Amino acid sequence: MAYGPRNLRFSFTGKNLTHFGGFFLVQHFFQRLALRRRLIRAVPMHQRNNRYSTSELILALLYPLLVGLGRIESTGILKQNGVFRFLTGLERYPDATTLRRFLLRFSQEGLEAFLKFHEALRKQMFTSPRKIILDLDSTVLTVYGRQEGAEVGYNPKKRGRPSYHPLLCFEGITRDIWEGSFHPGNVHSASVAGELLKRAFAKIPSSVREIRVRADNAFFDHEIVEFLKERRASYAIVAKLTAPVKARLGGLRFRQVSGEIFAAEFQYQPQRWKTQERFIVIRRPVPQEPSWQLSLFQMKGFTYQAIVTNLPLTPYRVWRFYNDRAEAELVIRELKEAYSLGKIPTGIWKANVAYFHLVLFAYNLLNWFKRFCLPDPFRRASLITIRSKLLAIPGELVRPQGTPLLKLSASFGYQEVFKKTLIQIKRLKLPK
């Protein structure tokens, strides 16, 4: 039986090695976007010294999110990685203190211009000119310190803990983040959703002819519904199961629509609402709950789910359309786990707001990279999957005859995907 080598020696003499050899693809995509040059023009912040430019510091905050380092303190590994610095064009990588100081100044001097730049780039990458689906959702970011603006509010997993409360609007076809806002934990979604919707609708191109909106019961509010009606948008919003709504369930005539799924509908004008609305109700046996993101009410061995809508679809089709919104739940989970959205970097409110918007930008950048450059099935892959299979691969930088060459492993299992992606990046033509 082999017990492993007995005479193996080691040394710390390896040079020009990196764990992030595959990041060459992402950086090549950034170059195709002319990202650094465009950031220089779009975010004209005055720098106190000439060691780092504004664009370099913004990218130095984005790179750790994409490679999976998470907290700003972890960026030291990139500071010591000469090959990564060479691939990204950063001669020196800023330390954590420099990045935190810049994040605060960026929140005060450059964030507004950066948001305009993000929107201009997102508009350029939008490829669905006739139809749009907006998915609204919110989440809770629990904090464990004395972060400014963190308040005790609705927190289902850590009750009584202070938190932040981001609101997000996704485009359901492309999965791009369309709009986002950052709030203290005690702010209710419905009280700030109106402003979020106004900004989101202002971004919709004039070529779009059909607008659909999906939202959970945190957005079940008469002002939100009135706003959508005024703009002739279709909507499917989970209804809060209030006592008047529950009272109507027993008298409904349910019709079997698929398997053990039964559907019914009724007209009802909630208190303070201006008009009657169409409510569809889905009933299923208790042991087979179909969708954990909907509000469920149990009665006599069945679960009930209610959705308010103006869609001219059958109840079953409305329910199926709303359930496709589960993609938004997955994106929020990915933002927290893969993009470190929940790892609040400072104790200062403005700096944390700026970090939130940088995370959204990092997500959109990688989403565009997947959509325009990666072959199937990687276009639907998560960032964690893309990291493990394409980005976090060992590489060695050599310079035969003075020309830099990045050598990747001969046993790398996704060589064809790597090559096809590089070809797609080179062929990429950005819409004007």
| Domain-embedded: residue 303 | no
* Residue 270 in domain: no
What pLDDT score was predicted for residue 175?
Answer: 93
pLDDT at 187: 93
> Considering the domain boundaries, does residue 338 fall inside one?
no
The Cα diameter of the chain in Å comes to 83
pLDDT (tens digit, 0 to 9) for every residue of the chain, 432 residues total? 456 666 766 656 667 878 898 999 999 999 999 999 999 999 988 777 678 889 999 999 999 999 988 788 888 888 888 888 888 888 889 999 999 999 999 999 999 999 999 999 999 998 777 899 999 999 999 998 888 998 988 888 888 899 999 999 999 999 999 999 999 999 998 889 999 999 999 999 988 999 999 998 889 999 999 999 999 999 999 998 889 988 888 888 999 998 888 999 999 999 889 999 999 999 888 754 444 444 555 555 678 889 999 999 999 999 999 999 888 888 999 999 999 998 989 999 999 999 999 999 999 999 999 999 999 889 989 999 999 999 998 988 888 888 888 888 888 899 999 999 999 999 998 766
DSSP state of 46: P
- In three-state secondary structure terms, 227 is helix
Total domain count, the chain = 1
Summarize pLDDT for 91-117 with one digit per residue, the tens: 889 999 999 999 999 999 999 999 999
* pLDDT score recorded for residue 62: 94
In a domain, 83, yes or no: yes
Give the domain range for residue 73: 17-114+344-427
Residue 70 lies in a domain: yes
238 contact partners, CB below 8 Å, separation of at least 6: 215, 216, 217, 220, 294, 295, 305, 306, 307, 308, 322
Judge if pTM exceeds 0.85. Answer: yes
Q: What is the pLDDT of residue 294?
A: 46
User: Which one, of 185, 137, 182, 181, lies nearest residue 159 by Cα?
Assistant: 185
Q: What's the rounded Cα separation, in Å, for the pair 263 and 283? A: 6
pLDDT of residue 292: 43
> Does residue 245 sit within a domain?
no
pLDDT at 127: 78
182 in a structural domain: no
Cα–Cα nearest to 425, from 378, 384, 375: 375
Write down the pLDDT at residue 47: 72
- Does residue 384 form part of some domain? yes
